[in-house]
Amino acid sequence: MLYRFQQFWLAVSSRPKTDDLQQAAQILGARLYAVFCQMQPGEQAHSLQVMRRVQKQNQTDRGLLAAALLHDCGKSRRPLRLWERVWIVLVKTGLPTQAKAWGRQPYTRINDLPFWQQPLIVAEQHAAWGAEMAANAGAAELTVRLIGCHQDKRPSQLTPMEKKFLSVLQNADNES
């Protein structure tokens, strides 16, 4: 419960610092940084924190650092409001199987779906959306693959190096 409260507070109150934004721009390059800039300020701050945690593990691979910065960029396709973030946590906690099923609806007509279902679709599908956005902006294959499976507990078809990097990314994300 404390973890969720901290996560909630950071999402509402965090804003990225100028120095951190400059570092993100340097790592990502212009096209990927433009994707990063589409994210809400709280998500940018979270992603910067994830990147710093990855760096604290002596990880310097640019593809991994870019994935840390962009892992939640898919949420910018349908930005979440505060109450929707709370709703996602409540439904995933109380009805995890149903939350997953509701979240798998096609997103092409997301605004035609019930208001309560829309945030669950974002939660479920933002990784795939983010991978697509990163690929379209010219991200390296490693970055795209890590973004696309950053929520998977048992991803398939990853190389041993990709699995190692994914574990680092997931641990940093879970701690942030």
pLDDT tens, per residue, the chain with 176 residues: 565 566 666 666 678 889 999 999 999 999 999 999 999 998 999 999 999 999 999 999 999 999 999 999 999 999 998 889 889 989 999 999 999 999 998 766 778 888 999 999 999 999 999 999 999 999 999 999 999 999 998 888 899 999 999 999 999 999 87
Residue in 24, 34, 38 with CA at minimum distance from that of residue 67: 24
Asked if 49 contacts 20 with a C-beta cutoff of 8 angstroms, the reply is no
What pLDDT score was predicted for residue 3? Answer: 58
Alpha-helical runs (H) found in the chain: 2-13, 18-37, 41-56, 62-70, 82-94, 96-103, 118-136, 141-148, 160-175
Q: What's residue 65's pLDDT? A: 98
Contacts of 83 (CB under 8 A, 6+ apart): none
- Look at the block and give the residue holding tokens 């959306």: 129
Question: Which pLDDT score, from 0 to 100, does residue 8 have?
Answer: 63
Domain coordinates of the chain in residue numbers? Answer: 2-175
User: What letters, b where the CB count within 10 A reaches 16 and e where it falls short, cover 152-175?
Assistant: eeebeebeeebeebbebbbebbee
